[in-house]
Amino acid sequence: MADKNLRVLVYSDDVNTRQQVILALGRRIHPDLPELEYVEVATEPVVISNMDAGTVDLAILDGEAVPAGGMGIAKQLKDEIYRCPPLLVLTGRPQDAWLATWSRADAAVPHPIDPIQLAETVLGLLRPRVPSTTS
């Protein structure tokens, strides 16, 4: 397995939301995966810039962020980036999962953040991106 860390972009205008995500996931979500390296982002232009650079393995976007919500950003990223990395949207409530589908996000997790649900969802999105060490 490559020693390269997996870069996870965490977007929210709320520093507390970003910290909740990072604390919930920690440095390593599974022994078979490399450590996570976080890129904290508070504005849409910085999300776009980081995603355009092609160095992000997963983006976690806060659907409740203002003025640019994560669902709108997710839709834009999926429309504009060839082979866009997986996108996870944090929704305001479980009933908003249909909006995440509209945004073409790969997964959705509702607020308040459940660390186990978030970790399982992130693991499912990142595992296919890491070459297996077994055949």
SS3 state at 89: strand
pLDDT at position 132, please? 67
Instruction: Specify if 1 maps to a domain.
Output: no
Report yes or no on 74 lying in a domain: yes
pLDDT digits (tens, 9 = 90+) for 4-56: 899 999 999 999 999 999 999 999 999 999 999 999 999 999 999 999 999 99
Would you say residue 134 has pLDDT above 90? no
71 — pLDDT class (breaks 50, 70, 90): very high
Query: Is cis: bond before 94, omega within 30 of 0?
Result: no
Q: What per-residue confidence (pLDDT) applies to 99?
A: 83
Biggest CA–CA distance in the chain, Å, is 46
pLDDT value at residue 82:
93
Work out the average pLDDT over 82-98: 91
Give pLDDT, residue 131: 78
Q: In what order do the strands lie in the sheet with 36-41?
A: 36-41, 6-11, 58-62, 87-91, 107-110
Domain hosting 41: range is: 6-129
The dihedrals phi and psi of 35, each to the nearest 5 degrees, come to -65, 155
Question: How many domains would you assign to the chain?
Answer: 1
Instruction: Note whether residue 134 is domain-resident.
Output: no
Identify the pLDDT of residue 135.
Answer: 39
Within a domain: 23: yes
Cis before 128 (ω within 30): no
Q: What is residue 1's predicted lDDT score, i.e. its pLDDT?
A: 42
Q: Looking at per-residue confidence, does 132 or 68 come out higher?
A: 68
CATH code where residue 22 lies: 3.40.50.2300
